[in-house]
Amino acid sequence: MLQTKRIYLPKPNNNNEYVTYENQLQPRYVFDDKKSENIYHAHEDEIMEVVEKEITDYVNCEDLCSDEEGMFPQPKFMTGEWYLRGVFFKDDYLSIPVAFLGTDLGYPDDYLGLEATFTYHAENNQFSFDGINSESL
């Protein structure tokens, strides 16, 4: 089983630029308005718990991640380290993209991108998890 660990990139992202391991920028934050920002922050801990569980389950699912030739991602290249790339909350849709590091190039670099998606339900002030999308980085 691949052990996962969140890492924090050090450079302030004052211009809300695209985040990569190479540029070491902290996450981007995009909200509809101050109200949506406050809603997100009020639920941030519970959202990030779900994100961590779901991305850990994803990288440990043999149907999705396998060291078989031609498969992507291959756990043998993954370090288990991941970082938050951003938070995007618009029109009751929340996207949390993260990046896992891999060593397929011979050194740690972006390898697998996962995006956890949620829907916000204003009537009961709750987020529901919708799923995970993946991409090679």
Q: What pLDDT digit, counting tens, does each position of 27-70 carry?
A: 999 999 999 999 999 999 999 999 999 999 999 999 999 888 88
* Position 69 in a domain: yes
From CA 49, how far away is CA 66, in angstroms rounded? 25
What is the domain range of residue 57? 27-136
- Over the Cα atoms of the chain, what is R_g? 15
* Position 5 in a domain: no
Cβ count within 10 A of residue 96: 24
Mean pLDDT of 80-86: 98
From CA 31, how far away is CA 37, in angstroms rounded? 6
* Position 53 in a domain: yes
Domain count, the chain: 1
* Position 63 in a domain: yes
* Position 56 in a domain: yes
pLDDT for 72 equals: 92
* Residues ≥6 apart with Cβ < 8 Å to 43: 126, 127
From CA 84, how far away is CA 10, in angstroms rounded? 12
pLDDT for 71 equals: 87
